[in-house]
Structure 1
C-alpha cells in the first residue's frame, strides 16, 4: 500500500480533445453539466460533475516519448473504439439520452434494460468518444 493511501481520492478524468471549449460546451448541453472552469488559454476546462471532476485538455497536451518530444497518440483506425468510456448515471435514462442526441451526441444504441440490472444506452460525443447513459445497477 502506498504511503498516504488513506488520504487519496479519485480526482479527475481528463479527456483529450481537439477543441477544449467546444467539448466542454457540448458536455454541458448534452449531459446537463455546468462548465466550472475554462482557463483563458482555452487549454483546460472542467465540468461541475460531483466528487470526480471531468476535465478537457488539447490533444497536443498528451505526454511525449521523451526522446523526440513527439506527442504519442493511439495507433488505431478512426473507426476503432477508444480505450476509455465515460458513463453518466441518471434517474430518467430515456430523457437523458434524448437530451444528449438533441444536443449533438451521435446515437450508438438506444437505452435498454441490461441483464445485469442497468438500463443504458450509448452515444458518441463531438470528438467520437463513447458515452454510456445509464441508471445505477439494481441488485
Structure 2
C-alpha cells in the first residue's frame, strides 16, 4: 500500500505558523510535541505538518533551502478551496500573509489568488474547478 499522508513545512516559530493556518483556514491542531518542534493540523486525508528549523536540520543532514521574504517562493504551493476567494484572501492578509497574485478568473471559470504565508510559503486560494 502507498498513501500520500502529509506535507511538512519547515518554520521558525512552530506555534505561530500553526496558528496562522488554524485561524485562517479553520483547521484544528491535532498535536504539538512537548518540545514544540513538530506539530500537525487536521486537514482531511492529507495532514499539514510543521517542523522547527532545528528539527529539520537534525533530520536533513545535507541541508535545505530556507523560505525567505526577500526571495521568490519555492516552486510548490499549498492549495485551499473556498466559495469566496476574496474574503479568504483578506482574512489571510489580516492574519499575517502577504498578497502575491491578486484574484483572477481563469477561462474555465475558477477564481484563483496566491498569498505568501508568514513563513513565505506559497498558498493558492481558489474555487473548485467545475
TM-score range, shorter-chain basis?
Answer: 0.7 to 0.9
Which string of whole-angstrom CA distances, capped at 9 and with x for unpartnered residues, describes residues 43-84 of structure 1? Answer: 11111101100000012314113xxxxxx1228984132132
Q: Secondary structure at the match of 1:26?
A: helix
Alignment of 1:58-137 (within 5 A): 58-60=52-54, 61-62=56-57, 63-65=60-62, 72-74=63-65, 78-137=70-129
- Greater than 6 Å deviation, 4+ residue runs: none
Structure 2 unaligned spans of 5+ = none
Q: Which has the larger radius of gyration?
A: 1
Q: 1:80 to 1:9 in 2, by over 3 A?
A: same
Taking only aligned residues, the RMSD between alpha carbons, in angstroms, comes to 1.9
State the match for 2:14 in structure 1. 20
Q: Secondary structure at the match of 1:74?
A: coil
Q: Secondary structure at the match of 2:64?
A: coil
Structure 1 unaligned spans of 5+ = 1-6, 66-71
Match of 1:29 among 14, 23, 30: 23
Contact 1:125-1:131 within 8 A present in 2 as well: yes
Tell me, yes or no, if structure 1 residue 44 matches structure 2 residue 38. Answer: yes
Q: 1:125 to 1:75 in 2, by over 3 A?
A: closer
Q: Secondary structure at the match of 1:46?
A: strand
In the superposition, the TM-score normalised over structure 2's length comes to 0.86
Q: Aligned-pair distance for 1:105?
A: 1.1
Distance 1:49 1:57 in 2: 16
